[in-house]
Copies of this chain bind each other. A is one copy, B any other.
């Protein structure tokens, strides 16, 4: 398993992340009323890998479009992603995000609701400034609004699952598809759409993004168990003691695997390691890992509609990275 990102892939992503960061500076200026825009920018400015907007730019390029002209569309995806993080952190009462205090911890709950709402409308405003034919921009807006609705549904399901004793595999897959998959799908799909690609190419790119996005989320669940806090910055096994019903736990439940620390918030580090070892032995972690790889392979096959190009190669590498990363 690759521990770090391939240098060439890293370089390609960083180039695009820099383009997106520059465009954010231009498209989301801090204006009156200042504190509202400071709150809106807080998390956006904390960075992150900008994988979604980079996927949009790569998909546009792979589909033969003028990727640089689509920087506003890439920014709109990043703003939507950040809006969901700000509102999710209120709902989960999370203290920290990207190493910074969560928005609601600094501007209060009302401030964070409004900062998220502002990013929401700004995303559509910014998308509207993309240089493309009106019907293509409209198509992108329709894709984005549909995606946002699905994200709300996904977050609702995620919250609902917390109060249920069991969740089925198909329910879990629906949740991660909506909560994580669809925004990656919209990223790749909008990139292709704005480039004037044929509907079946747009659908293929959407599928590529959606499936690799789901693989990304499944890998996140694996990372929670296999990566030490020193490397990930998050407590190893945190999902276990929080009683998260991940695909790993769904597999364990189905095979009567006894996971002693599930939902046990005061578990010791030793107890957590024992439970992780049991999940390795039972094949539950491997099950999630193999499902993640399956999804990414299926996503990669969807790219066969595109002619070979450097951007397509980078997309394929990005897809691999999404499930091979260890943190």
Contacts and interface: CB of A to CB of B under 8 A. Distances in A.
Nearest to A93: B110
Contacts of A146: 121, 125
Contact of A120 (B91, B117, B122, B134): B117
Given A128-B141, A141-B138, A33 B149 contact: no
Interface residues of A, number: 40
A33 B138 contact: no
Contact of A149 (B32, B87, B122, B155): B122
Given A90-B109, A91-B114, 20 more contacts: A32-B153, A33-B153, A35-B156, A36-B152, A90-B110, A91-B109, A114-B156, A114-B159, A117-B148, A117-B152, A118-B149, A118-B152, A121-B147, A122-B145, A124-B141, A124-B145, A124-B148, A128-B138, A128-B142, A128-B145
25 contacts: A33-B153, A33-B157, A36-B156, A87-B113, A87-B114, A87-B117, A90-B110, A91-B109, A109-B109, A110-B159, A117-B120, A117-B148, A118-B149, A120-B121, A121-B146, A121-B147, A121-B149, A124-B124, A124-B141, A125-B146, A125-B149, A128-B145, A134-B134, A138-B141, A141-B141
